[in-house]
């Protein structure tokens, strides 16, 4: 999965398909960065892989996904700042969380 797909379902709900581009997958460093950024928003934010859905504000929950490089995930947010939350977190995935590989 190379591209991301941003979907808007309602003003207070936003989702996006994202791809883990980091060579080591969604390991501790990017998971911590994702959780830290997600905590800045009031919206409920979930990250989904298949039938597993976790709280994106929890590093431990994110690590349970064990998402390898190339893994397709769905990012979902519901709340007053859902659009801003998804846009911000989507950029983290697109920029490999600041990692080169």
The token pair at 60 is: 């431990």
61 catalytic residue (yes or no) = no
Select which of 14, 21, 27, 57 is catalytic: 27
Q: Which residues are designated catalytic?
A: 27
């Amino acid at each position: 999965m190379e591209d991301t797909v941003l979907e808007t379902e309602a003003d207070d709900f936003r989702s996006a398909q994202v791809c883990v581009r980091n060579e080591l997958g969604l390991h501790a460093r990017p998971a911590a960065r994702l959780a830290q950024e997600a905590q800045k928003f009031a919206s409920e934010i979930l990250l989904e892989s298949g039938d597993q859905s976790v709280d994106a504000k929890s590093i431990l929950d994110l690590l349970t996904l064990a998402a390898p490089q190339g893994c397709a995930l769905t990012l979902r947010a519901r709340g007053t700042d859902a659009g801003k939350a998804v846009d911000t977190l989507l950029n983290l995935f697109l920029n490999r969380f600041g990692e080169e590989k």
